[in-house]
Structure 1
């Protein structure tokens, strides 16, 4: 499976393009559409470069989802989970109750609640994460 354009657009919407390196709320140097690998203060990127970083980073998130999710899922579910992993990281996803519930039953309504647990950074609830998790959850449970 590969992330659809709908999934890419979801990630881009919430990551938002930034041409100059900045520290995200978690204190990590970030640039482009949420790219963090090797980013230093003062770094700059074009939108084209940021798109390239995004596509490469999405491939890493896809591999995590494909490796850890053991039950069949549809394209919308895959896209929602790739967005989630892109934002929260592979380690968080690997140890999550969200993943455990998906691997028990990908249609479990309790999965909605699990998405909403991931809205805090350093103990602070962020409105942007509340919105992102809601969109991911809605996509996860939407029909193709």
Structure 2
């Protein structure tokens, strides 16, 4: 995980499995997306078992695949342990393209660190955002966004 640095990597390897949960088989998530291990939606075979080693490798591969575009579209995050970890976790869940087009990314790029962190879970109008899937609010996403925002705000 040299892409993000040791400290951010350690945070990601601990928080993402907690947010995603760990399931050692392919399954359908709450809105029907084929998923495996720790939230990986790539090359999933529903019902197929996956080993602990396969799941760890899958997580590392997907975190790198999300960290690279996060750093490309928000280069100011390099060296900012907590904000980078929060941004990669956020992108891991919503997708790198959605992250790069988000108000969070725009605010990081403008130097509005607190505003970027706030935008992880709150719109400019003060309403919750990024907490729905399949058109419904998921309590797990509400909790995740609050924790990503809290992580992001560390050290500011």
Q: Fold-level match, TM-score > 0.5? A: yes
Structure 2 CA distance for aligned equivalents of residues 8 and 106 of structure 1:
27
Counterparts of 1:4-23 in structure 2, within 5 Å, are 4-23=9-28
Question: Partners in 2 of 1:93 and 1:72 — Cα distance?
Answer: 13
Which stretch has the larger CA shift, 124-133 or 65-74? 65-74
Could you tell which deviates more after superposition, 71-80 or 58-67?
71-80
Q: Helix, strand or coil for the counterpart of 2:12? A: helix
TM-score of the pair, normalised by structure 1? 0.91
**Cα distance, 1:101 vs. partner?**
1.1
Q: Find runs of 4+ consecutive structure 1 residues off by over 3 angstroms.
A: none
Unaligned segments of structure 1, at least 5 residues = none
1:90 matched residue in structure 2: 96
- Scaled by the length of structure 2, the TM-score of the pair is 0.84
Unaligned runs of 5+ in 2: 122-128
Taking the aligned partners of 2:33 and 2:77, their CA distance within structure 1 comes to 34
Whether 1:31 aligns to 2:21 is no
The count of aligned residue pairs is 143
User: Alpha carbons of 1:72 and 1:17: their partners in 2 closer, same or farther (altered >3 Å)?
Assistant: closer
Which of the numbers 64, 73, 82 marks the counterpart of 1:76?
82
Deviates more, 1:1-10 or 1:38-47: 1-10
Is the 1:33–1:54 Cα contact (8 Å) retained in structure 2? yes
Greater relative CO, 1 or 2 (CA 8 Å, sep 6+): 1
Taking only aligned residues, the RMSD between alpha carbons, in angstroms, comes to 1.6
Partner of 2:48: 43
Please, which moves more after superposition, 63-72 or 75-84? 63-72
1:72-93 Cα shifts (integer Å, max 9, x gaps): 4511111111101111101211
